[in-house]
Amino acid sequence: MVVNRSSGKASFGQPSGSFSVYALANERIALSVKQYPIYEFTVTPDSNCQCNVLAYIDRLPQEVAEVVVKPLKTLEQIKEERAALAMVDTRMVSGINILESPITALYQAFSKKEQNKRWIAEQVYRDDQRKVVQELLRLYVAYDIIDLPEADFDSFMLFLNLDDDFLKTASELELITYIKDKYEHFKRFNAGE
C-alpha cells in the first residue's frame, strides 16, 4: 500500500513491490507492507520531475511462542518410576505401639498439623502417580497405541481410574491392553461432545 501522508490518498502497488503515484514536491509518502515496518520518504523531484526510490525493507522480527521439547522416556524408565511409587511415611503410631505411647497416638489422630502432613504426603503421591501416567500416555501416543491429544490427558486419566497396585505391578502388556481398552470406551463416551 502506498500512502500519501500529505494528501491522505492511498493506492496499491504491484505484487513485485514496484509502484508509481502522482505527488507534489516535499509530500511524505509511506509504504506499508504486511509483516514489514512502514517505510517513509519525502518526494524530491529530479530534472525530469520524477522521484525514483529504491528501498530495501527488512522484515519485522517474528515472535514465536515458546516451545518446550521433552524427550520421551523409555518403557524401562517408566517401569522403574511405576515400581518406585510410594507414599511418604508420616510415622503414625499403630498396633501395639499405641499402648506404649497413647498420647502420641491421640495427637497424631486428631492434630491438624498431623492431618495436614498426611494430606500433603497423599497429594505428593497422587502428583507423582499422575506424572508417571502422563509419561505412559505420551509414549503410547508416540507409538500410535492411542490417539489422544495432550489436552485430554487429565480427563482421560480421571476416566481411567487406575488402581495404585495395578499401576505399580502390571506388566507392559497388561497396561497397554487395559489403557487401550479404556481409551476405546473413553472415545465412545466423548464422541458426542
Return the SS3 of 176. helix
Q: Are 94 and 130 part of one and the same domain?
A: yes
pTM: 0.50
Cell of 91: 510415622
Mean pLDDT, the chain, integer: 83
Q: Are 44 and 112 part of one and the same domain?
A: no
Task: Report if residue 69 sits inside a domain.
Answer: no
**How far apart are the C-alpha atoms of 142 and 106, rounded to whole Å?**
51
Higher pLDDT, 122 or 90: 122
In total, how many domains does the chain have? Answer: 2
- Tell me what pLDDT residue 113 has: 77
- In the DSSP assignment, the letter for residue 4 is E
Task: Report if residue 167 sits inside a domain.
Answer: yes
Mean pLDDT across the stretch 41-68? 85
Task: Report if residue 70 sits inside a domain.
Answer: no
Whole domain around residue 34: which residue ranges? 1-60
Cell of 54: 529504491
Q: Are 90 and 165 part of one and the same domain?
A: yes
Task: Report if residue 177 sits inside a domain.
Answer: yes
Q: Are 103 and 43 part of one and the same domain?
A: no
Q: Which of 86, 74, 178 is nearest to 136 (CA)?
A: 74
What percent of the chain has a predicted confidence (pLDDT) above 90? Answer: 14
Q: Which of 60, 93, 110 is the last residue of a domain?
A: 60
Q: Are 82 and 41 part of one and the same domain?
A: no
Mean pLDDT across the stretch 3-8? 89
Q: Are 36 and 117 part of one and the same domain?
A: no
Higher pLDDT, 112 or 25: 25
Task: Report if residue 134 sits inside a domain.
Answer: yes
- Tell me what pLDDT residue 7 has: 87
Cell match 523409555: residue?
74
Return the SS3 of 10. strand
**69-90 pLDDT tens trace:** 777 788 788 888 888 776 555 5
Q: Are 136 and 47 part of one and the same domain?
A: no
